[in-house]
Structure 1
Amino acid sequence: MNRRTAIAGIGATEFSKDSGRSELRLAVEAVRAALDDAGLTPADVDGMVTFTMDTSPEITVAQAAGIGELSFFSRVHYGGGAACATVQQAALAVAAGTAEVVVCYRAFNERSGRRFGSGVQQREPSAEGAALGWVLPFGLLTPASWVAMAAQRYLHTYGLTPEAAFGPVAVTARRHAATNPAAWFHGRPITLADHAASRWIAEPLRLLDCCQETDGGQAIVVTSLNRARDLPGPPAVIAAAAQGAGRGQEQMTGFHTGDLTGLPESAVVARQLWRTSGLGPADIDVGILYDHFTPFVLMQLEEYGFCGRGEAAEFVAADRLPLNTHGGQLGEAYLHGMNGIAEGVRQIRGTAVNQVSGAASALVTAGTGVPTSGLVLTADG
Structure 2
Amino acid sequence: MSDERSTGGFPPLVFSGIQPTGNLHLGNYLGAIKKFVALQDDHDCIFCVVDLHALTAQLVQDDLVSQTRQIAAAYLAAGIDAEKHIVFNQSRVAGHAELAWIFNCVARIGWMNRMTQFKDKAGKDRENASLGLLAYPSLMAADILLYRATHVPVGDDQKQHLELARDIATKFNNDFSARIAAAGLGVPMRMGEERVNGYFPLTEPLIEGPATRVMSLKDGAKKMSKSDPSDLSRINLTDDADTIARKIRKAKTDPLPLPDSVEGLSGRPEADNLVGIYAALADTTKAGVIAREGGRQFSEFKPALVDLAVEKLAPITDAMRRIMADPAEIDRVLKRGGERANEIAARTMGDVKRIVGLLDD
Flag whether TM exceeds 0.5 (same fold). no
Where is the strand percentage greater, Structure 1 or Structure 2? 1
TM, length-normalised to structure 2: 0.28
In our comparison, the structure showing a higher alpha carbon Rg is 2
TM, length-normalised to structure 1: 0.27
Where is the helix percentage greater, Structure 1 or Structure 2? 2
